[in-house]
Amino acid sequence: MPVKTLLEAVRDAMHEEMHRDQKVFIMGEDIGARGGVFLATDGFLEEFGESRVIDTPLAESSIAGIALGASMHGMRPIAEIEFGDFIWPTINQIVGEASKVRYGTEGKLNAPLVLRAPHGGGVRGALYHSQSVEAFFSHVPGLKVITPSTPYDAKGLLKSAIRDDDPVVFLEHKRTYRLVRGEVPNEEYTIPIGKADIKKQGTDISVITYGLMVHHCLEAANTLENEGISVEVLDLRTVRPIDEEAVLDTAKRTGKVLVIHEDNKALGVGAEVSAIISESAFEYLDGPITRLAGPEIPAMPFSPPLEEMYMINTEKILHAIRQLSEY
């Protein structure tokens, strides 16, 4: 089975879906002639032509608005926002309009679009190239929000997103693009949206996370095996909808839960996961539901030492798990 980077898996998913369905097209800043800022669409313009690989101005609201209009008229656009930090101008089109199309028309219309964006820190990107944006979109009924951690998941979930009949926000952590490698089948496959995946089984503590943090959590879990602490790592993969069944199952199985994400702690995905467990599995717990997340700071610092202090890493995860294990 071929081993690919997460970026290669994303590229393959789009390439295959454009061959499979003539209604699929891609639009965004620099995605044509330059192949995208991360080269996710390198060579697409030459293969599919200007009518299906569309370079746009630096106007994120227009990118989202055109994608919305095209999707409501039978097309399946993949709209790339060059960096998640500049996704905010799309809020009116995606949150205010696209999320409500099916509901507002009583099912007469739908908006099958994918809004792709690289996001996340740890790349010396500072204020405008390091933000995590998943919590904002995860609050909105009518949207699906996907945050893959592996090449296998990225390809299978992106293909499902492109085929979905409702709007999907697909967030790819920049640090995983070339650092994370894994086996990806050549055969056709998709992964259902809204299904979490146990990346490592364990019996003592459940760590629930997604995206880049999955890899730090796995590293910590493997280290703790030598200390006699068995850690289960649950990768949410989709943060809207959250796989409540998987969350509750792992909480009941171990009795101790640590929720980890890079995004700010307050009102984040971890708060929702904690509430789900508190409401439906409280009696199974042997300790407090604990969260490890980004600090309450408006922006990622540019200074490397300060960025390191901001980011969640393996050492911080080890400390949090050891503390929880003492209950």
Here the tokens at position 222 are: 């493997």
- Ordered alpha helix ranges (H), 164-243: 176-179, 213-225
Do residues 25 and 51 lie in contact, with contact meaning Cβ atoms separated by under 8 Å?
A: yes
Rg of the chain on CA atoms, in Å: 20
Strand-pair category, 114-119 with 168-173: parallel
Residue 290's DSSP bridge partners are: 258
DSSP state of 134: H
Q: Could you give phi then psi for residue 314, rounded to 5 degrees?
A: -60, -40
User: Is 261 an annotated catalytic residue?
Assistant: no
Strand-pair category, 197-200 with 53-55: unpaired
Coil, strand or helix at 91: helix
Cα(53)–Cα(51) distance, rounded to whole angstroms?
6
Do residues 285 and 253 lie in contact, with contact meaning Cβ atoms separated by under 8 Å?
A: no
Do residues 216 and 121 lie in contact, with contact meaning Cβ atoms separated by under 8 Å?
A: no
Do residues 231 and 224 lie in contact, with contact meaning Cβ atoms separated by under 8 Å?
A: yes
Burial state string for 2-29 with b = 16 or more CB within 10 A and e = fewer than 16: eebbbbbbbbbbbebbbeeeebbbbbbb
Residues 6+ apart with CB under 8 A from 27: 53, 54, 55, 56, 63, 66, 67, 77, 78, 79, 80
* Annotated catalytic residue, options 73, 119, 129, 139: 129
Residues belonging to the active site: 129
